[in-house]
Amino acid sequence: MAKGYWVSVYHTISDPEKLAAYNELAGPAVRSGGGRVLARGGRVVAHDAGIAERSVLIEFDTFEQAVAARESAAYQEALVALSDGVERDFRIIEGID
């Protein structure tokens, strides 16, 4: 089965306190869903139309596991804490077998 990945790019962070509250809840939710953080907030070199913004990459054993983790009650609680604290692009993508 193909792995699943969460890919997030943060365009703006308008409320760092909401982001911190989200991180406190999202970390355990991701881990309990089987996710592993591969990259978070490190250096970015952007090319073409890319913009060097905060980026997060999380790996799951399967695409289905990645979708289920996003839909879990624990992660939904984290999203409530985040609410309008950031503007981000969030995607779940399927890896290549």
Read out DSSP for 55-96?
EEEEEESSHHHHHHHHHSHHHHHHHHHHTTSEEEEEEEEE--
pLDDT class for 50, splitting at 50, 70, 90? confident
pLDDT class for 19, splitting at 50, 70, 90? very high
Annotation: CATH topology of 4-94: Alpha-Beta Plaits (3.30.70)
pLDDT class for 2, splitting at 50, 70, 90? very high
The residues spanned by each domain of the chain are: 4-94
pLDDT of amino acid 51: 85
Average pLDDT, the chain: 95
Burial call 36-61: b when 16+ CB within 10 Å, e when fewer: eeeeeeeeeeeeeeeeebbbbebbbe
Given a cut of 90, is residue 41 above it in pLDDT? Answer: no
Query: Cβ neighbours of residue 26 under 8 Å, at least 6 residues apart?
Result: 75, 78, 82
User: How many Cβ atoms from other residues are within 10 Å of residue 6's Cβ?
Assistant: 23
